Amino acid sequence: MGPEPEKDSPVRRRQVRSFVRRAGRMTPSQQRALDELWPVFGLDLEPGEQDLDNVFGRQAPRVLEIGFGNGDTLVQQASEDPETDYLGIEVHEPGVGHCLIAAREAGVTNLRLIAEDAIEALESRIPRHSISRINLYFPDPWPKKRHHKRRIVQPAFLDLCADCLEPQGSLHIATDWANYAEHIDAVFAESPRFTCVERREHDGDRPLDRPGTKFERRGLKLGHRIWDWRFDRVC
């Protein structure tokens, strides 16, 4: 075994991830979708920044969803908004398989999926100032205090999002965990990169500018409230 990485080295930082890879049950149809549809909708990241105009074959506004889960929300948005290109990032393979099936059924052509850690993609693969909107819907809440460091919303994450957003870009977040909502308010209050332009606390009684999500429905069934924010990039 080699020496322990230094406290602030990139190697050590990458050990605190916002997810744990679960050996999820992949259904046969999800596995088939990964085999057959990944070449259509999948984006295998090349070293360096990706040429997104080339990936989508056009220049259009781009929305990035981080942690799309089963992808139903992402596919619905892509399907309803064909003038915009949609990129989704998710590490949970059965979710990626589910999303591929939904994408084929919807017949969308403006959607590409990345099956890697969003932090690594934002760090060096998504071009700077290339995204008009980032959606982060119901990120893993990591409720135990000793796990709070795994929450994806951290100062460094805000910097990465701001770097990838266009100057007028926005970051949209939703959660159903009161303690995560407090955490999100606190992290953004300290950030010079974003300003909060909308904050709503509600019981799922929309209209919102997003469809409902699987984890939102789960939270509402448990009697949780929902928090939705829109933060605009400032610098």
Residues serving a catalytic function are 140
Integer Cα distance of 101 and 98 in angstroms: 5
Q: Is 102 exposed, middle or buried (0-12, 13-18, 19+ CB in 10 A)?
A: buried
Q: Is the dihedral of CA 212, 213, 218, 220 positive or negative?
A: negative
Query: Residue 43 corresponds to which tokens in the numbers above?
Result: 């984006």
Task: Sketch the per residue contact string, 2 through 41, with ligand SAM: x for CB under 6 A, - otherwise.
Answer: ----------------xx----------------------
CB of 110 to ligand SAM, least distance (A): 19
Q: Give dist(CA 103, CA 106) in Å, integer.
A: 5
Indicate whether 171 belongs to the interface with ligand SAM (CB under 6 A): no
CA–CA separation, 131 and 133 (whole Å): 6
Query: Looking only at residues 178 through 207 of this chain, which bind ligand SAM when binding is defined by CB under 6 A?
Result: none
143 versus 167: smaller Cβ distance to ligand SAM: 143
Please tell me whether residue 72 adopts helix, strand or coil conformation: helix
Which stretches of 107-166 are DSSP H helices?
118-124, 155-164
Radius of gyration, alpha carbons of the chain:
17
The least CB distance from residue 57 to ligand SAM, in Å, is 25
- Indicate which single residue of 41, 56, 138, 180 sits in contact with ligand SAM (rule: CB under 6 A): 138
**Closer to ligand SAM by Cβ: residue 138 or 188:** 138
Q: Which part of the chain contacts ligand SAM (CB under 6 A), choosing from 47-55, 125-133, 197-205, 211-219?
A: 211-219
Q: How many residues bind ligand SAM (CB under 6 A)?
A: 22
Cα separation of 60 and 83, whole Å? 7
Question: Where in 67-106 is the site for ligand SAM (CB under 6 A)?
Answer: 67-69, 89-92, 95
Binding site for ligand SAM (CB under 6 A): 18-19, 67-69, 89-92, 95, 117-119, 137-140, 152, 213-216
